[in-house]
Chains A and B, each alone.
Chain A
Amino acid sequence: MSDSGTGATGSSLGEMAQLSAITLNVNDQARRLEVDPRTSLLDALREHLHLIGTKKGCDHGQCGACTVLINGRRVNSCLTLAVMHEGDDVVTIEGLGDPDGLHPMQRAFVERDGFQCGYCTPGQICSAVGMLAEVEAGWPSHATADVASPRVALTDEEIRERMSGNICRCAAYPNIVAAVRSVAGGDPG
């Protein structure tokens, strides 16, 4: 474990806040950054690495537009500091696919019109990818009738509950569920 983020002396307002050097593995590339410790992972991606696909919708974990995958798990990148992720694997929407080679979830969102303005979309897609991995691992949800049961059937109700951390104000919800359903397989949404 690196200690590159430690050692700053007490910073008062009159003195320059010390920058922290960190390395993040973003979309399979080691990216070295010097950031103000106050920098959220979201702002590190957007303002330092210019990875604009990760969106700032509320900056307080109340909308999900900033969802990325850290070490394979979906998280709100607005509510974590970049310096806390030394050495972590971060996958953003840009890492899932590009227009010439879309990820199946990205393609499904286009096909099912799972968005309108597109601003919440990268977060929805990253969240959906992370969510399907959680289902694969047998995690229950609030919609699961019996949490003790080891297997989870991915009904539309389950998709909705598990995707509820991603707000879409255009309200493309029915189409997003259809897109996720088409990737997950099973009955059509």
Chain B
Amino acid sequence: MRPFTYERATDARTAVGAVSRPGAKFISGGTNLLDLMKLDIERPGHLVDISRLPLRDIEELPDGGLRIGAQAANSDVAADARVRTRYPVLSQALLSGASGQLRNKASTGGNLLQRTRCPYFYDTAAGCNKRNPGSGCSAIGGFNRIHAILGVSDSCIATHPSDMAVAMTALEAEIELLGAEGSLRRVAITDFYRLPGDTPHIETVLRPREMITGVDLPPPPPGRQLYRKVRDRASYEFALVSVAAIVSTDQGTINQARVAFGGVAHKPWRSIEAEAALTGRPATMATYRAAAVEAMRDAVGQGHNNFKIELAKRTLCRTLAQLARES
């Protein structure tokens, strides 16, 4: 870990001012940033601690939605009664991630910004365009069992590791950002993340010195919600594939559907194709299969991760069938 200086921010506006120093970074829960700093992957020269900013609350919005402060711990969000009853997919996604200890520390904003768990990103001796632009992608042609099948580029096949962000994608969350000049802007979560292209080191549309202050959940869409995570271990492991689904049916016909995948792409993967294939169709396995085929139409395996294409299809069908059964 390289030397750095440290300061604790007392309010959001001074925080974005303080981070204007060269090499400065925000630190919140620290569960990913310190992990990376210890391995010399992140090298901030100055840390602005925003963990004590008054952004921990979860509040009702006038439109019936919910606002989650960026500093709200993952465990507090997962345990919030309003989240559990109105946005169970988010609670389920959070609870399927990490461990109790990590959820107590990890913040909502930090979770959104966590970096990939690609082992080559974690190995400073390996080529990695995300860590060291221009150095190549060792995962292509390497051990790529956990890597992406959708939206990849020749520069990067990494996945985004968050479960929470997958559920938020299905919920069409909006992220509130405080800019360096003190201005606020809001970005839909699907627009927040970028695909790798030839700049995989740029992962979001976050501008320099911008800080996430909160996440707004619109009123819950009609229908039932479910998050299903598939992994080797029964707990405490990142997803091989996950699905967040929200489906509303009327007399056996799906009238609205939201589908997002985790573990398959550089960002939480909203599948408009699957949603279109579901909407207006009968809630049957034939429909689910058709949606799964549509969702994975452009999927490409890299060798070790070829299985993810079939696994993602099966996981989607299974999740949809379970939702139908429980409704």
Bound-state Cα–Cα, A38 to B51, Å? 17
Shortest A26–chain B CB gap in Å is 18
**Which one of A92-100, A103-111, A133-141, A179-187 contacts B?**
A133-141
A121: Cβ under 8 A from any B Cβ: no
Q: How large is the interface on A (under 10, 10 to 19, 20 to 34, 35 or more residues)?
A: 35 or more
Taken residue by residue from 10 to 29, chain A's Cβ proximity to chain B (1 for < 8 Å, 0 otherwise) reads as: 11110001101000000000
Docked complex: A1-46 residues within 8 A CB-CB of B = 1, 3, 5-13, 17-18, 20, 36-38, 40
Let me know if B35 and A139 touch, CB within 8 A: no
Residue of A nearest to B75 (CB): A139
Q: Considering only CB atoms and an 8 Å cut-off, how many residues of chain B contact the other chain?
A: 44
B84 and A5 within 8 A (CB): no
**Is the pair B38, A1 in contact by a Cβ cutoff of 8 Å?**
no
Chain B positions within 8 Å of A17 at CB level: 3
Specify which chain B residues have a CB less than 8 angstroms from the CB of A5 in the assembled complex: 6-8, 49
What 0/1 readout, one digit per residue, does chain B (63-105) give for beta carbons within 8 Å of chain A? 0000000000001001101001100100110011011111011
Assess whether B47 is in contact with A127, with CB atoms less than 8 Å apart: no
Are B49 and A84 in contact, with the CB atoms below 8 A? yes
| B34:A75 contact, CB within 8 angstroms | no
Query: A81 vs B52: C-alpha distance in the bound complex, in angstroms?
Result: 14
With beta carbons under 8 angstroms apart, the residue of B7, B81, B101, B235 that contacts A161 is B235
| B179 at interface, CB cutoff 8 A | no
Q: Measured between C-beta atoms, what is the minimum distance from B21 to chain A in Å?
A: 8
Q: Please report A residues at the B interface, Cβ cutoff 8 Å.
A: 1, 3, 5-13, 17-18, 20, 36-38, 40, 59-61, 64, 67, 73-76, 78-81, 83-84, 86, 127, 130-131, 134, 137-142, 144, 147-148, 150, 160-166
